[in-house]
Every structure is written in structure tokens, then in C-alpha cells.
Amino acid sequence: MGAIHFDKPSSGTVDVNKVNALKVTYTGEEGHAFWSETTNEKGGAGVVGVTRKWVGVSGQCTSVNGYAGVHGSNAEPLQPGGAGVVGISVKGNGIYGESQLGHAIWGETKTDKGGAGVVGVSINWHGVDGQSANGIGVYGKGPVAGFFEGKVQVTDDIELLNADCAEEFDIVEENAEAGSVMVLNENGSLESSYQEYDKKVAGIVSGGSGYKPAIVLGSQHSQNQFQNADQNKNNDNKKRRLPIALIGKVYCKVDARHSPIGIGDLLTTSATKGYAMKAEDPMKAFGAVIGKALGSIRQGLGMIPVLVTLQ
């Protein structure tokens, strides 16, 4: 068969059931089986597929070393509103992707000026719906793995892999270390403890010995902190904020030079800056207990896991 040339619009109709109206097979090493292009600058699609009960355009790649079933690109990617692929459906899927070994749909943006890899918008249903039979329905990774504006509803358990529940506080010191015992000062900020049985004890700086907080309350980072990192650095208000463990397990600096600490002992503030000690006087300890020891130390200074139980 020779080349086909069109000098005017044409159309055709096939009345036989279960056959392809047009089938093109390319057997060369490199090239496209079907190439469609429009050069009209006022609009017009390269390929339009319309169907009443099935997919408008179906693309398949049958080789594991192949590229894509359907590939779409925008020749002017910096133009706002341009799209590589647009799928519109009245009742079905606007775009449907299926893969045996890779990603069903991959969305990527390479501009550093903003733009999401995948955007889902819905009026009455899910903007983005993620489902998995044995894996993770929706997975997010990044400096902020997920951000939500509005309510978050969960119908099953919430599993937090880290240890304690912490809240950020202003810290007056520059060198407060993880595991330090902190007390309130007159301005409501925190500083390292420095006297025994201090009833102003507030908590322990989270993050010692690899333990990380599972929940951090009171975080005051802006939503675009990572996009404007340099600006935020220049506008530093010189208030250092650290997560203070209020509930749960956390590593704590302890002083056992005066009395050994065993598992289950109640701990309070000591005269050693930022360190806890065994609470031996019940009367003084009332209101000054920081937690219960989950480890032991016979002598000297060290760090042990503690169950934070302010009382």
C-alpha cells in the first residue's frame, strides 16, 4: 500500500461488528505507528477520541523495556494552563492508568516556581482517592509529607511510629541539648533546670538517643517555610523553639552521683543543670516529679529512657 495523502477532510464508516475502523502496524526499529499533529495556533487536538461506552483513547505498551502506553507533552511547558494529557469523562474515569510492574499514573513537575505533580479536584467526592489491597493507599514523602487544610477524619487506628508527645516552647538558651530537663521562667519561656525539686518543671527536650516525638504541638513554622528558607533565616526573631516531651517515652539526662537510679524510680530536678535525679523526699517531690525511670544507672551522669508523667 502506498502513502496516504489528505488534501481535504475525510471520514469513513465501518458497519462490521468487532473490527477496528483503522489499524496501523509499524515494524521498523524506531518510529511511531501513528502520528497526528495539528499546527493551528488557535487550538485543536492532535488526536481526539470519543466513545459512548468505552475509552476514548486507549494506549498500551506491551514490552517491559518500553516507555509509555500514552505519552502527552506540552510544547510550551511554561505557558500557564497547558497540559500534557487531558481526560474528560461524563460518568467514567477522565484518565485511567494501569500497570503490571510500574506506576499506573506518574505525575511530575520540574519547575521550582510551584506546581503539583498530581492535582485532584472534586465538587462532591474525593479530590484524590488512593486505594491498595496490601500496601499504602496514599504515600507522601518530603520535608512535609502531608499538609491538610480542614478536618481530618480517620475510621481506624492511628499508628505513630515514634515515641513521645511533645510541644514546642521558646527556649532562652542556645545550647539546650536533647534530654535536658526544662523549667518555666518568669516570662513563660523555658530554661534548663538548676535546682532540686523545682515545681516549675515543664518537661524534657525531645530527641535524645534517637527517640523522636510522634506528635509535635504548637509548631509555628509557616506553610512555605521550605520555599522561603533563606528569607526565614534572615528574618530570624532569635527565639529558639524546641519540642518538649510532655507525655510518653523520652531519653533524659540523669545524675546518679548522690543516689543510684533504678527502673521504676520517680525522677525530679537536680542541682546539676538540665539533669534529673531520683526523688527521695515524697514531700518535696509533690508537684516536682518529671517522670518514671525506664532504665537504671548506678553512679555518675548519664542518660536513660524515662516515661514522662508530670505530677
Q: pTM score > 0.75 for this model?
A: no
Range of weakest confidence among 154-168, 266-280, 287-301: 154-168
Burial class (CB in 10 A: 0-12, 13-18, 19+), 171: buried
Domain presence at residue 232: yes
Residue range(s) defining the domain that contains residue 240: 164-308
Burial 173-182 (b: 16+ CB within 10 A, else e): beebebbbbb
Domain presence at residue 197: yes
Domain presence at residue 215: yes
Residue 144 vs residue 113, higher pLDDT: 144
- 250/268 Cα distance (integer angstroms): 15
Give the mean model confidence (pLDDT) for residues 142-153.
85
Is 53 a residue whose pLDDT tops 50? yes
- 153/138 Cα distance (integer angstroms): 15
% residues pLDDT > 90 (the chain)? 30
Q: What's the structural domain count of the chain?
A: 1
Short-list 24, 114, 41, 36, CA closest to 76 = 41
Short-list 253, 262, 251, CA closest to 297 = 262
DSSP assignment of 64-85, as one string?
Answer: TT---SS----SSTTSTT--S-
Domain presence at residue 16: no
Domain presence at residue 248: yes
The CATH number that applies at residue 177 is: 2.40.300.10
Beta strand extents in the chain (DSSP E only): 164-171, 181-184, 190-192, 201-205, 213-217, 240-255, 266-269, 276-278, 289-293, 301-308
Residue-wise pLDDT tens digits, 206-264: 988 878 888 888 877 534 444 444 444 444 445 689 999 988 999 999 999 989 999 99
Is 155 a residue whose pLDDT tops 60? yes
Residue-wise pLDDT tens digits, 7-47: 777 777 888 887 777 777 877 777 777 777 777 777 677 77
Domain presence at residue 151: no
Domain presence at residue 42: no
Domain presence at residue 131: no
